[in-house]
Structure 1
């Protein structure tokens, strides 16, 4: 970003960083919160009221750092696939779980417990340490940083393993898929399909490989840590109280985690979770006793004709997995059950225009967008693309309003069904 003044940009950034860090530390101290470090017990995040200040600092420090790199080193920073080698090894061999919380372990012991050669252990872990994953408090000893401690959480380890064993190979074939199937948006003509030598869409393929499906299922819980995606935030992201004594169908709602969260906080709504049989089997046992009868499950998939009449149909991170042709089919499948005034709520990405979002969050959004291309040929949509999608499905779908919760990568589109 060019500077409007004669002051060199790096000087402007340094001054901005200095004043912002001072303000941030003053606010942390006033609230009795420790300043962030890489220590194992350092706080993982910041209070919500400090988020704008944190965002500005992240963008400023990144810009300063990247301005000081020469072009090759900047490209290497973003293209260094070797970083995944050590992360994949750490997750696959569960090395983070071998380091005792608050303690340390030797390279030799990690070698013995993992079955890996000691020299390879040292090579992998010291590479990870250069990324702040683990530290070496004394020669040949390994201890946690807050990053490696985070990797020891089972579902985070599963996510890192999925990224290394499934996403990484598929990502290397995305451009090959673009070349092989120009303009295709079919879910089985993807980098994932090429990497796995299959003509099946990703979920059908994973369903035939239980070990990989289990890894995927565990890894998906990591989404809870993505800004604004935690299930407990759903109650704040939309004015659910405004819908009154409503019946809500959560289409593609998995095992009901979101439905349970809503039922706990809004005693006036009743929820039905629809998903494939494999997903909902036994899910009733996860429903707390006090919510039974208000959270129910029904075998139903998004492309099937909707048979359940309700006041609200809720889709959370469903449409991103499908191109427009299939997304239109999902919307049309709901029409037979829709009554005048029925609402469709879509919680999904709404892509930011350039410079309208903190850059570090924009990078996350655009990274998710390409990951969807890798797996399903789906995508994140801009607001005008959402409007075009609704119009293509039926003119009676009217976009009423869009909620973009602060600090969230997910918007909520409120759509009304209007009889003409």
Structure 2
């Protein structure tokens, strides 16, 4: 009642509200609440225990989730063992992605994707069933997209719409392995690196190195943690809450500007951290790193 999910119109009477009606009648929201209560909250209560048991660990199977579930497997593997639990998690993510601030329009409208090229090659790393690539191909006729994900994900992907079918293809690929598509213009990660500690995020970025050409860009589309006091208290709680959620699930994290810059520089000095921007209305930042010669990077850093 204090959160206005139910109300007390008069003493001794409990009544529904619009919020409780949504809870009762929206299956995806029910799954989100279930996933939060059954998976996230128990993990949150055991983060300190995990840190004490595995000091300084960056391993995805040494997190609060593992203590809470008495599991030796990473959270997503453990959740996937139970069909109902996996379905609940998938539905919860579907519900979460309906947030207006996660709309793909912010990405499509706030970056120069073609820049005069006759053909732009876009690699959607860990792109699931390709919603970003399909939207990008529909908006820009010169963009050709390759969607990469694990074989079991790619097998379940529907064929892209006929209008873009010749420009959107699917490829089975593990992003910890060397990138097989060389000389692309963009390598794109949406909500990938925040699932991993620096140890594993570095492996993912380094897997790109043999494929990179001069001027190629890595585009990361994720939450960005700004300095304290920049956001409203409500938004700051949101972002830092996501940071904690990644810690409790997989020993992972959301990153601030300094952490992003260090991550790219540590992965390879030829990654030049070009910019971080968050389009107005978007919950996700657009984080851009460009592949350059080492002396070019040093020149730009001292400019």
Give the TM-score normalised by structure 2: 0.88
Are 2:45 and 1:172 equivalent residues in the alignment?
Answer: yes
**What secondary structure sits across from 1:228 in the alignment?**
helix
- Return the match for 2:3 from 131, 143, 146: 131
* CA 1:136–1:261: 2 relative to 1, 3 Å: farther
Confirm or deny that 1:278 pairs with 2:179.
no
Structure with greater proportional helix content: 1
Bigger relative contact order, structure 1 or 2 (CA pairs below 8 A, ≥6 apart): 2
In structure 1, list runs of 5 or more residues that go unmatched. 1-128
Deviates more, 1:220-229 or 1:246-255: 220-229
Of residues 308, 324, 341 in structure 1, which corresponds to 2:181? 308
Q: How many angstroms apart in 1 are the aligned matches of 2:238 and 2:54?
A: 26
1:245-256 paired onto structure 2 within 5 Å = 245-256=119-130
Q: Secondary structure at the match of 1:164?
A: helix
The answer to whether the 8 A contact 2:6-2:14 is kept is: no
Question: Which one has a bigger Cα radius of gyration?
Answer: 1
Gaps of 5+ in 2: 295-303
In 2, Cα distance between the equivalents of 1:196 and 1:157? 22
Query: Equivalent residue for 2:195?
Result: 321
Paired positions, count? 291
Q: Does 1:388 align with 2:272?
A: no
Give the corresponding residue for 2:243. 369
Name the CA distance, whole Å, in 2 between partners of 1:381 and 1:320: 8
Q: Does the 8 A contact of 1:238 with 1:403 survive in 2?
A: no
Q: CA 1:153 to 1:268, structure 2 compared with 1: closer, same or farther past 3 Å?
A: farther
Which region of structure 1 is more displaced relative to structure 2, 270-279 or 139-148? 139-148
Q: CA deviation at 1:135?
A: 4.8
For the 8 Å contact 1:247–1:269, the answer to whether it is kept is: yes
The question of 1:406 aligning with 2:280 is answered yes
Distance 1:267 1:157, change over 3 A: farther
Q: Which has the higher strand share?
A: 2
Quote the Cα distance in structure 1 between the aligned partners of 2:226 and 2:290. 24
Residues 241 and 340 of structure 1, relative CA distance in 2, 3 Å threshold: closer
**C-alpha distance in structure 1 between counterparts of 2:84 and 2:105, whole Å:** 29
Which of these residues, 89, 92, 104, is aligned with residue 231 of structure 1?
104
Q: 1:325 to 1:130 in 2, by over 3 A?
A: same
Aligned partners of 1:344, 1:317: CA distance in 2, in Å?
Answer: 13
Conserved in 1, the CA contact under 8 Å of 2:243 and 2:253? Answer: yes
* SS of residue in 2 equivalent to 1:222: helix
Residues 345-385 of structure 1 show CA distances to partners (whole Å, capped at 9, x for unaligned) of 01112211111111110110000000000101111111111
